Structure 1
Amino acid sequence: MAFAPNFPPVEPHICVNGGLEAIAFYEKAFGAENTFKQLAEDGKRILHANLSLFGGSIMLHDEFPEYKNQGGENDVMSPNTRGGASVALNINLNKPADVDAAVERAVRAGATLIMPIEDTFWNARYGRIRDPFGHVWAFNAALEAPAGE
């Protein structure tokens, strides 16, 4: 099975409540670059946006409660509307110090620290934050292998 050229084989597509604010947050917190943005007909909500960040990309859109799936349900809601995130977006960084810097930057921008940064038993520097839109981001970098291994 082939994937579309110029697109990664897997790309998260996140739903938020407050798309314009979310883009501004991701730019400030993660250094994201908005590569595409299309507003909905109401001129207020994001119908579709692409953001480049950490060497990858995500797609983003606002909630549209007026649209239902074939079963008559609205199955595309933000984590804040659902009552929590069901997935974490994992960011693999090059150096352990990068984890500290990325988490600290996100918290300064308004994210909440939900798992303090630590050196883990699986030999990684790791921490987690929740952004103001309910999405969980995990930051990870391998620690150097102990001598003799």
Structure 2
Amino acid sequence: MKTQTSFAPMLRIRNGVTDLDFYKNAFGAVEHFRINNDDGTVHVAEFDIDGAVFHIHEIYPHTQDFDPAAHTGVVTVGLFTDDVHSVFDSAIAAGARTVMPVTDFEYGYRQGELVDPFGHKWIIEKKL
């Protein structure tokens, strides 16, 4: 019997975050659920971008998770889309920082690299 496999990254955020609208504004992400702490800050949330699920989770002091804002590049999320320029520009308008502008590469990809407001690195890409 064939099974379906999917990949759902968990992106860590610093404690005290209350606003995750970047993902909605930048990538058109849909929020499935959110669990807040007693003070209203985000504990965990689940989103999807065109059916690709990912999670946002606060960093616990007792874990050995990296703060992405302090360790940019520990993980890079690749986001494939038909319109690299549009998605890239939306992310920048929503608060991301350009690392590398959208470029066509000789290995057959159009891609641009950015860092979101929480320190996560993204490559917005399309196979040409």
TM-score (norm 2): 0.87
Distance 1:53 1:132 in 2: 18
Runs of 4+ aligned structure 1 residues displaced above 3 Å come to none
Indicate yes or no: 2:25 matched with 1:36. Answer: no
Choose which of 11, 15, 18 in structure 2 pairs with 1:14. 11
Which residue is equivalent to 2:68? Answer: 79
Q: Which runs of 5+ in 1 are unaligned?
A: 69-73, 144-149
Q: What residue number does 1:71 align with?
A: none
| 1:90 aligned partner | 78
Q: State the Cα distance separating 1:52 from its structure 2 match.
A: 1.1
Structure whose residues are more often strand by fraction: 2
Hey, what's the Cα distance between the residues in 2 that align with 1:24 and 1:135? Answer: 15
1:117 aligned residue: 102
Preserved contact between residue 114 and residue 122 of structure 2 (Cα < 8 Å): yes
Higher normalized contact order (CA 8 Å, seq sep 6+, divided by chain length):
2
Note the residue ranges of structure 2 that are not aligned, 5 or more in a row: none
Q: Is residue 2:119 matched to residue 1:134?
A: yes
TM-score (norm 1): 0.76
CA contact (8 A) 2:32 2:46 kept: yes
User: CA–CA distance in 2 between the matches of 1:136 and 1:54?
Assistant: 19
Once residues 33 and 91 of structure 1 are traced to their aligned partners in structure 2, the CA distance between those partners, rounded to angstroms, is 15
Aligned-residue CA RMSD (Å): 2.1
Higher fraction of helix: 1
Q: How many residues matched?
A: 126
